Amino acid sequence: MSTSERLIESTRELLWERGYVGTSPKAILERAGAGQGSMYHHFKGKPDLALAAIRRTAQEMRATAAALLDGPGTPYERIEAYLRRERDVLRGCPVGRLTMDPDVIADDALRAPVDETLDWLRERIAGLVEEGRERGEFAPSLDGAEIAAAVVATVQGGYVLARASGSPTAFEAGVRGLLSLLATHQNTAA
């Protein structure tokens, strides 16, 4: 792995663990096993490196979600696959955690990949709900944008509740509850 890749990966990990302020250039260099001038050789500084790391994290999240949301099955089954996918619930969502970082949210450039990713996720899920409505798998009364917002809120809120309790139980309960509500709207349109 190149030095710039090690710097990006180290920054990604540190942002997830410590947040923007807690991610010092010294910590990045130590984690990456890189020399003192390497950050500035490859990046303009910490903000530039953090942006590269946030973009990479956002791309990974999209790829993981797309593999499930674009995979086989009915729209309900694909939403269910996304909700039930294996994740480290107690560690939280690397993109969602960035929304709680005041330094990321205050910086338009750093916040942009976070906003874009969450918007993409909501749009993709809303599209699945609409697809299900068109195919007669979901009731016509379902609003794709509202269901998508509920799915994203359940996942992100589930991470928060699981971390607060130290147990994935709250996350799992939220997913089961949302799926049972969504299941009640299946096949009623046919």
> Model confidence over 61-88: pLDDT tens digits?
999 999 999 999 999 999 999 999 999 9
For residues 137 and 75, the answer to whether their CB atoms sit within 8 Å is yes
- pLDDT digits 0-9 by tens, 131-144: 999 999 999 999 99
Q: DSSP letter for 20, please.
A: T
> Euclidean distance between the first and final Cα of the chain, in Å?
53
State the pLDDT at residue 40.
87
State the pLDDT at residue 187.
60
Give the pTM: 0.90
